[in-house]
Amino acid sequence: MSPEEDKIWRSIQRKDGEAFELFYKDHYKFFLLAACKYLGDAPLAQEVVNDVFVRLWQDAERIDIQSSLKSYLYRAVVNRCLNELDKTKRDRQHFQELKHRPEETAEWKEMEDNELKLRLYKAIDDLPEQCRKVFRMSRFEELKQQEIADRLGISIKTVKNHITHALQQLNRVLDEWNTLPMVLALVKYFFGHH
């Protein structure tokens, strides 16, 4: 566990509600996206994440975390998702694919992908408003460049520029991510030592 995480974890064990709240809010989206990947249902995913955090809070004194707090919680969320799928068998095919808990290396990869995704989303959040709007219309509403230009009353060239800028920002996140071998090695190190 990193010194920073260790400090947070000790605070939570001491029943420091403020530290717990901050940690929760900082990591909520990370775990929500992870749970959604398994469950495909945001309200259920929130319930699962909250279940895990309720248990963390209530049993904090008895929980012994050998790896990192984040990977401990990630594993707990995944396990809880698998239980949920088992219970509801809501999507048999999906369930078949996912019912085995991921191998350790795959789990680490999943967590890493999830972290990258979060960074990409934060980069989208950070785009200038009009740029973000154009990008969302292009990617999520699947509108053609001309359609976006017509709807927003801007030139097609501006639309292209906005989309280009957005993709460049995402590409920058990818570049940064791939040049973080030290950080990743550390993550792997903490994750690998149970």
Nearer to another protein, 123 or 187 (CB): 123
Nearer to another protein, 52 or 82 (CB): 52
Give CA angle at 39 (35, 42), nearest 5°. Answer: 70
Question: Interface residues with another protein (CB under 8 A)?
Answer: 15-18, 20-21, 24-25, 28-29, 32-33, 36-37, 42, 45-46, 49-50, 53-54, 57-58, 116-118, 120-121, 124, 128, 130-131, 136, 138-140, 144-145, 155, 157-158, 160-165, 167-168, 170-171, 174
Nearer to another protein, 104 or 175 (CB): 175
- Please, what is the minimum distance in Å from the beta carbon of residue 51 to another protein? 9
- Please, what is the minimum distance in Å from the beta carbon of residue 59 to another protein? 12
Q: For residues 122 and 173, what is the distance between their CA atoms, to the nearest angstrom?
A: 10
- Please, what is the minimum distance in Å from the beta carbon of residue 45 to another protein? 8
